[in-house]
Amino acid sequence: MNEIILLKLGEIVLKGLNRKAFERKLLSNIAYRLKPFGEFKITCLQSTVYVEPKTDDIDMDEVFDACGKIFGVISMARAKGCEKDKDAIAALAIRYLKPQMEAAKSFKVESKRSDKSFPMTSIQLSQYVGGELQEAFPNTPVDVHDPDLTVHVEVRDLAAYVHADPVPGAGGMPVGSNGIAVTLLSGGIDSPVSTYMIARRGVRLIPVHFFSFPYTSEQAKEKVIELAELLTQYCGRMTIEIVPFTHIQEEIRDKCPEEYFTLIMRRFMMRIAEKIALYNGARGIVTGENLGQVASQTMEAMAVTRAVAALPVLQPLIGFDKEEIVRLARRIGTFNTSILPYEDCCTVFTPRHPRTKPKLADVEAVEKALEIDTLVQEAFDGIEHFPVGEH
């Protein structure tokens, strides 16, 4: 029997009558993500997904790494199966886990018996397999309280499986199980992390980037496309909406007081993002805002910005420290791209003294100098679409 991967379900197990729908979504996501590596039999039984390669030439290291980035999985392990016989199980444990047993300072065996027709109890099976392992590896003592290695034996419907300690999965919910949202994706550190965090809650995302050529360069656009490509290993395939924003920013610069530049710019972003969302059947807008980080992220400023949108605005980073955001950006692999020296449109026409505690009525009065609907429609009509994550 080929080596397989066991993926344990996370929050899905808490679902009620709609649990099967979440499981189907997860299985679909797993199949899509593993398609580049070869052919697999993927099944879900008893809160566990079995990923079994159909051929011997598949790189299971790469497959295991890919599985670790699929939302909806709480833990995972590489395993081997055998017939449901105590001697076969012990022999498999000795053979398959030899490197781990030789490296461990101590071990114990934990058994689970989903198949209640198996003639031994879980404790009896653990004792038997543990005894056989102890005899095969006399230099690795048993320690049932604080072992260096736990050998797991699972007797299930299809077969018995042996594996070492599982590792954490990506957690969360399967992407696509909780609807669609647009996510404002700049070239900075924060917005890729906020995109990742909402995808982890099962949301399929449409990235929106505002591009102000010639004030921002083609390299800045390419940087954002690269960030989106990096995120697809977690979020799945996406299409970036690149919004031409130059004319809007020039109109704001020419017709509005400088202290309101950033506020009005962000209100236009929200209007356009909502228009894109509604056009694509999305039901939310995701931003990377972090309370107090910059002048436009005071409670007063954020309230003014959100006032133009009817859809919910999701802000997963709102209470994070910057170091926490940086640490997560490093972990998901976006940090090094985010710090490349290509500025986005948020740095264009930055006011010297921005209004930090604006009043909505004052901002709306200032905006009367602009042809808002015309500018929004013009930007919407000029959107470029860039698919990422396609195989």
Whether residues 158 and 187 fall in one domain: no
Same domain membership, residue 363 and residue 217: yes
276, 376 contact by CB (below 8 A): no
Domain at 305, CATH number: 3.40.50.620
Helix axes 190-199, 218-235, angle to 10 degrees: 20
Note whether residue 175 is domain-resident: no
| Cis amide prior to 214 (ω within 30 degrees) | yes
Taking the whole predicted model, whether its pTM rises above 0.85 is answered as yes
Residues 47 and 76 in one domain: yes
- Give the model's confidence band at 390: pLDDT under 50 very low, under 70 low, under 90 confident, else very high: low
- The per-residue pLDDT for 1 is 66
> What strands lie across the sheet with 384-388, from one edge to the other?
313-314, 285-286, 180-184, 204-211, 238-244, 384-388
152 with 196, same domain: the answer is no
**Per-residue pLDDT tens over the stretch 309-340:** 999 999 999 999 999 999 999 999 999 999 99
pLDDT tens, 86-143? Answer: 999 999 999 999 999 999 999 999 999 988 899 999 999 999 999 999 999 999 999 9
Return the ∠ at Cα 73 (arms to 153 and 201), rounded to 5°: 160
- Band (pLDDT 50/70/90 cuts) for residue 45 is confident
Weakest-pLDDT range from 80-89, 94-103, 239-248, 345-354: 345-354
Within a domain: residue 42? yes
Show which of 170, 198, 230 is a domain's final residue.
Answer: 170
Q: What confidence tens digit (pLDDT) does each residue in 1-27 have?
A: 679 999 999 899 888 888 999 999 999
CATH at residue 30: 3.30.2130.30
Same domain, 101 and 143: yes
Q: Give, in order, the Cα–Cα distances in Å from 125 to each of 70, 109, 156, 168, 386.
A: 33, 9, 13, 26, 55
Q: Tell me, yes or no, whether 260 and 286 share the same domain.
A: yes
Mean pLDDT of 229-236: 95
Return the bridge partners of 184, or none. 208
Residues pairing with 47 in the sheet: none
Domain total for the chain?
A: 2
Contact (Cβ atoms closer than 8 angstroms) between residue 89 and residue 131: no
**Quick one: which H or E segment has residue 92?**
helix 86-96
DSSP conformational letter for 296: G
Which position has the token pair 């264009």? 348
At which of 170, 192, 215 does a domain end? 170
Task: Tell which residue, 252, 183, 261, 262, has the closest CA to residue 224.
Answer: 183
Domain end position, chosen among 170, 189, 205: 170
Expressed as residue numbers, the domain containing 349 is: 180-388
Residues for the chain: how many in total?
Answer: 391
